[in-house]
Amino acid sequence: MPNQNSLHGENRKLLVRLSIGALVMFGFGFVLVPFYEKICEVTGINNILKADEVVNTQVDTSRLITVEFDANIHDLPWQFHPLQSVVRVHPGELVTVAYEVENTRDRPVTGQAVPSYGPAISGQFFRKMDCFCFTQQTLAAGERRTMPVAFVLDPALPDDVHTVTLSYTFFEIAGRNAALPATGDGAS
Amino acid sequence: MAAVIPDHLNEHHHGPSGLMRWITTTNHKDIGTMYLLFSFVMFLSGGVMALTIRAELFQPGLQVVVPELFNQLTTMHGLVMVFGAIMPAFVGFANWMLPLMVGASDMAFARMNNWSFWLLPVAAVMLIGSFFVPGGATAAGWTLYPPLSIQMGMGMDLAIFAIHIMGISSIMGAINIVVTILNMRAPGMTLMKMPLFCWTWLITAYLLIAVMPVLAGAVTMILTDRHFGTSFFNAAGGGDPVLFQHIFWFFGHPEVYIMILPAFGIVSQIIPTFARKPLFGYASMVYATASIAILSFIVWAHHMFATGMPKQGQLFFMYATMLIAVPTGVKVFNWIATMWRGSMTFETPMLWSVGFIFVFTLGGFTGLICAIAPVDIQLHDTYYVVAHFHYVLVAGSLFALFAGAYYWLPKWTGHMPNETIGKLHFWCSMVFFNITFFPMHFLGLAGMPRRIPDYALQFADFNAMATVGAFGFGLSQLIFIVVVVKCVRGGEKAAARAWEDADGLEWTVPSPAPHHTFEEAPVFK
């Protein structure tokens, strides 16, 4: 047993080490953020902002798939709708459709569209070559813009899927990315 | 091994008296008592929330509370029970018993110990007070998943600050425990001769230091997403809500072992006493505890099988999770082997411990079922999961806490707890616990979702049964108050070694333990 003074010293040394450990773990929680983003990037799990590669362009004329388009806005003073609500396409065929969006507010607003798919399984077969959802869109006050979506339905789409719904939701960009200048996307 | 306690140590200490004595105390026994009282008060408040939830679920339709309040109640029940009741109760046991068990005069940092405790009532007031702010308490679930937790009112901010404060308290408590155990053991007590309760707490304390800061980081990110324009989890700004789930469960899974490992320790003290045999496989118990702790860091995503993980990920987390059943099985085997051919008697602490093994193991098995990824997709967010974690947290952690309380009450109060009332408490709790939670397995298998105030008609009978059980279980806990009050006031005098074959340094000091013990380190043989 060490005497009282050296015990105090030992205790204090361990206290400092354990406190540093706690601080390091606090930092570790934040390190998980870029780590997670890197993993998603490397494994391609969360690449909604990138154009897809087409793996098979063989058009399957034996099937005709109904593709429905939907548009939603989330807390955004915009008008947003697809120019055509339904198209019928062959898997493998390159299709271009357009959405129209209008800023009804009297100041510029930046938004980001996030796609979702129904049924959910069709998402991985819905390959977008070009999409306004790959970038943020900044609309001047009162500006109206027509934006294209070019896509190919992968012929590997399961046989029991006859209708695919593509739904976009526009979110207003506030926060850390708001300061970014909107990149031109050739969509106007 | 009897220690000689000089007379002057039995005198009360010469600090302030009355309320100031408790506010300024640095004595580990006073602080332990305050931790235990605090956690029991929080247990009762969380219990009232649970009973309100069960009252609403007694019948289909909405009768008792509006859905918004129901959501707040499920959230706060979880937060209060985890951070207010179970964790502080174990820290209370650590404060009271660790210095006595290792032969130290007090915890290593007595002043910091006082701080660790007094942060808790502040956090509790913030947390429970959040019911009364505009918008009410947070209703995002105890897991605080975004986007809900980003959209909530100011009750969420109060919950975040309360979690920060409770986290700081836990980390300070954990540091104190590690230093006390590593540096202040009696001469002769090597690490591998420590009582198992010390071992499980040493490992738990390391877990706390490793993961409480991660939770603090996660809720800080929610806070900055809410108020300072960051987008860690805010999808609209490029963030990802699933990221929060990863960070949260990186904390959350070790957290569930933080709540069960000290329970293993308590049970490992009690069973050898009443089986009158040394613990079977002491070293394997230590290694099993350490393995569980290490494995707990690589299984977090089994809480997230339904988020659309790649199947390689699902397989990894599924197999890693199942691996934990091995060291846990070693522990259950060792407890049973300890009882095997022992001269067993079933005093109240032993009843709770044997009951613990039975019901905790049931909860462990349903955990294994939930670990199977394809099955979990079906069971995720149903009442099956609610049944599973109440079997391990109520019948696991809570039953072990009661076992420990009955076991060490003689040391704390100097009187034996009343056996008849104690046994009544055990049997009522055991029966009503199973009436409450066993039907929930069937509800979950039939697809009843958790955290919803209303349900389809076919779930009505099992829900009515669970509600009856819940009220029975809740009222049974009042019996414990009777036992403790009677025990403090009087009863059969407890000897220093209150139980016939109890082993350990804590039984060498008189009962009740004098205010100051082991001023001179005892010799451990």
Write the ipTM.
0.88
User: pLDDT at residue B323 above 90?
Assistant: yes
The C-alpha atoms of residue B305 and residue B369 are separated, in whole angstroms, by 13
Asked if A41 and B230 count as a contact pair (C-beta separation under 8 A), the reply is: no
Query: Do the chains contact at A21 and B210, CB–CB below 8 Å?
Result: yes
B478-503: b (≥16 Cβ within 10 Å) or e: ebbeebbebbeeebeebebbbbebbe
The most confident of the ranges A56-70, A125-139, B247-261 is B247-261
Q: Give residue B45's pLDDT.
A: 96
* Residue B451 known to be catalytic: no
Residues from chain B that touch A32, judged by Cβ atoms under 8 A, are 214, 243, 246-247, 250
- CA-nearest residue to A170 within chain B is B236
In sequence order, what DSSP letters do the residues of B389-438 get, joined into one string?
HHHHIIIIIIHHHHHHHHHHHHHHHSBPPPHHHHHHHHHHHHHHHHHHHH
- Here the tokens at position A56 are 């098979």
Average pLDDT over residues B410-426: 95
Residues from chain A that touch B212, judged by Cβ atoms under 8 A, are 22, 25
Asked if B383 and B450 count as a contact pair (C-beta separation under 8 A), the reply is: yes
Nearest Cα of chain A lies from the Cα of B3 at a distance, in angstroms, of 17
Domain with CATH 1.20.210.10 in chain B: 17-250, 260-451+463-514
Q: Predicted confidence band at B13 (pLDDT cuts at 50, 70, 90)?
A: low
Single out the residue of A139, A67, A60, A73 nearest to residue A97, CA to CA. Answer: A67
Q: What percent of chain A has pLDDT over 70?
A: 87
* Residue B450 known to be catalytic: yes
Q: Predicted confidence band at B64 (pLDDT cuts at 50, 70, 90)?
A: very high
Q: Give residue A180's pLDDT.
A: 42
Could you state, in order of their start, the residue ranges of all structural domains in chain A?
A: 1-46, 65-172
- CA-nearest residue to B167 within chain A is A22
Q: Where are the alpha helices (DSSP H) in B63-195?
A: 67-79, 87-102, 110-129, 148-151, 154-183
User: pLDDT at residue A2 above 80?
Assistant: no
Single out the residue of B127, B154, B132, B131 nearest to residue B38, CA to CA. Answer: B127
Catalytic residue from among B77, B390, B415, B425: B77
Single out the residue of B212, B210, B206 nearest to residue B181, CA to CA. Answer: B206
pLDDT in tens, A128-185: 888 888 888 888 888 888 998 999 888 888 888 899 999 998 887 764 444 444 333 3
- Here the tokens at position A120 are 């959910």
User: pLDDT at residue A114 above 90?
Assistant: no
* Mean pLDDT, chain B, integer: 93
Query: Do the chains contact at A43 and B521, CB–CB below 8 Å?
Result: no
Residues from chain A that touch B187, judged by Cβ atoms under 8 A, are 1
Q: What percent of chain B has pLDDT over 90?
A: 88
Asked if B435 and B469 count as a contact pair (C-beta separation under 8 A), the reply is: yes
B238-266: b (≥16 Cβ within 10 Å) or e: bbbbbbbbbbbbbbbbbbbbbbbbbbbbb
- Which one of A5, A24, A28, A133 would you mutate to disrupt binding with B, by most B Cβ within 10 Å of its Cβ? A28
- Is A42 touching B (CB cutoff 8 A)? no
User: pLDDT at residue B162 above 90?
Assistant: yes
Average pLDDT over residues B422-430: 97
Asked if B197 and B180 count as a contact pair (C-beta separation under 8 A), the reply is: no
The predicted model scores a pTM of 0.86
- Is A18 touching B (CB cutoff 8 A)? yes
CATH of domain B17-250: 1.20.210.10
Q: Predicted confidence band at A115 (pLDDT cuts at 50, 70, 90)?
A: confident
- Looking at domain A65-172, its CATH class is mainly beta
The C-alpha atoms of residue B483 and residue B409 are separated, in whole angstroms, by 10
Tally A–B CB contacts below 8 A: 108
pLDDT in tens, B203-228: 999 999 999 999 999 999 999 999 99
Q: Give residue B12's pLDDT.
A: 52
For chain B positions 92-111, those within 8 Å of chain A (CB to CB) are 108-109
User: pLDDT at residue B1 above 60?
Assistant: no
Q: Give residue A133's pLDDT.
A: 86
Asked if B445 and B40 count as a contact pair (C-beta separation under 8 A), the reply is: no
Rounded to 5°, angle at Cα B62 from B464 and B381: 70
Burial of B202 (0-12, 13-18, 19+ CB in 10 A): buried
Q: Give residue A176's pLDDT.
A: 42
- Looking at domain B260-451+463-514, its CATH class is mainly alpha
Catalytic residue from among B54, B277, B303, B497: B303
